[in-house]
Amino acid sequence: MTYDLAKWAVEARKRAGMTQEQFAFELGFSTKASVNAIEKGRNKPTFETMVKISEISGFPLPYLTVRSSENHSDDLETARLDLHDVSASCGSGHLNVDYPELLHSLEIPKTALKELLGTDNLHGVKLMSPDGDSMEPTIPPKSITLIKTDVAEFESSGVYLFTFQGYTYIKRLARGKAGVIHVTSDNPIYSKSDFVIEPEEFDDLFIHGKFWKVLPLDFLDI
């Protein structure tokens, strides 16, 4: 199965009521030529561009269906992602229950995954709902994050889902002098909330996964 991304881009722009010049400006393109190339099918939009288009226009990303956990279709070979009632703070941390409720199941045709994410292998990938705006622009407040849970240790600088002293965060981690780990926000106005995890506190740090991609909240129609 193939998907007409050019037609989708045109419909999204029209939904937003914008000219190609206006759309290009909102997407961060220097000229309307980039938008025109996407709409004519000469260039394929990146996943990040598709997310921006969806956010700007309110037009849903193509070829995705959301169903409750009781209602699945066998018509297409799909990959399933579950969203549980678990939140990770981009701010001061969240306390979560031990056995969270399943809120949504997202089934994506595997043929679509190649176009959306560049892979149809979602092994170990989980959905997470962040809270707050301290990780903007990397993670917008109204978004759903894709977390690679096969990463269970701090490896190198990056955005991680982790629990520290009982609170769950999505924050940027980086190694500092004397082995400390710096916990920082991407939004500079929250720099005062940044903190450091000392080596003697590492037993209180649990890495649940590493941030991979972000999707708009209406991706789940919630």
**How far is the C-alpha of 220 from the C-alpha of 87, rounded, in Å?**
15
C-alpha 67 chain-centroid distance: 19
**How far is the C-alpha of 87 from the C-alpha of 79, rounded, in Å?**
23
Which helix (H) or strand (E) segment is 163 a member of? strand 158-164
Q: Tell me the CA distances in angstroms from 219 to 85, 162, 186, one per residue in order.
A: 16, 24, 23
Q: Tell me the CA distances in angstroms from 166 to 42, 94, 151, 181, 205, one per residue in order.
A: 50, 8, 19, 17, 9
Cα dihedral 118, 210, 50, 72 sign: positive
Q: Where do the CATH 1.10.260.40 domains begin and end in the chain?
A: 5-57
CATH 2.140.10.10 fits 5-57, yes or no: no
**Prediction pTM value:** 0.66
pLDDT means over runs of 10, the chain (222 residues): 79 94 94 94 85 84 48 59 61 48 64 74 81 86 83 92 88 94 93 91 93 71 44
State the pLDDT at residue 42: 93
Contact 154, 79 (CB under 8 A): no
Three-class DSSP category at 148? strand
Q: 167-175 and 65-67 as β-strands: parallel, antiparallel, unpaired?
A: unpaired
State the pLDDT at residue 5: 85
State the pLDDT at residue 31: 93
Tell me the fold of 66-220.
Answer: Umud Fragment, subunit A (2.10.109)
Token pair for 46: 């990146």
Q: 167-175 and 158-164 as β-strands: parallel, antiparallel, unpaired?
A: antiparallel
How many CA atoms does the CB half-sphere of 181 hold within 13 Å? 24
**How far is the C-alpha of 90 from the C-alpha of 46, rounded, in Å?**
25
State the pLDDT at residue 38: 94
Q: Where do the CATH 2.10.109.10 domains begin and end in the chain?
A: 66-220
